[in-house]
């Protein structure tokens, strides 16, 4: 596939994944696969890994360390931990 055609396909995919219909269907499927089976959702929120229950409760599983990112980093650069 040539580059122009590939870019067109990628643009169409981006628009599809950003669409309200996709977002709604995805959310419904996640709810069915978690809350619908009596399980909490687990996700990253504001630097914390949380457990979100169907009744609205949110429990923090773990707080992640805050890191700053060098804005001069380029693709392929290696990040190093400061500890």
Can you give the pLDDT at residue 35? 97
Can you give the pLDDT at residue 81? 64
Q: Radius of gyration of the chain from Cα atoms?
A: 19
Query: At residue 44, what are phi and psi to the nearest 5 degrees?
Result: -95, 130
Can you give the pLDDT at residue 72? 78
- Counting the structural domains of the chain, the total is 2
- Kindly report, residue by residue over 15-55, the tens digit of the pLDDT: 999 999 999 999 999 999 999 999 999 999 999 999 999 99
For 13, the domain range is: 1-33
Residue written as token pair 């693709």: 75
Can you give the pLDDT at residue 78? 76
Question: Could you tell me the end-to-end alpha-carbon distance of the chain, in angstroms, rounded to an integer?
Answer: 46
Q: For residue 79, tell me if it sits in a domain.
A: no
Q: For residue 80, tell me if it sits in a domain.
A: no
Which two structure tokens, joined as six digits, stand for 65?
A: 């360390």
- Kindly report, residue by residue over 63-82, the tens digit of the pLDDT: 988 776 677 777 887 766 65
């Amino acid at each position: 596939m040539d580059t122009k055609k590939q870019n067109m396909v990628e643009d169409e995919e981006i628009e599809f994944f950003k669409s309200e219909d996709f977002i709604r269907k995805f959310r419904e499927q996640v709810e069915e696969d978690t809350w619908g089976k009596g399980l909490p959702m687990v996700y990253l929120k504001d630097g914390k890994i949380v457990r979100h229950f169907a009744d609205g409760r949110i429990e923090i599983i773990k707080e992640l360390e805050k890191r700053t990112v060098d804005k001069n980093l380029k693709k392929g650069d290696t990040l190093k931990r400061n500890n």
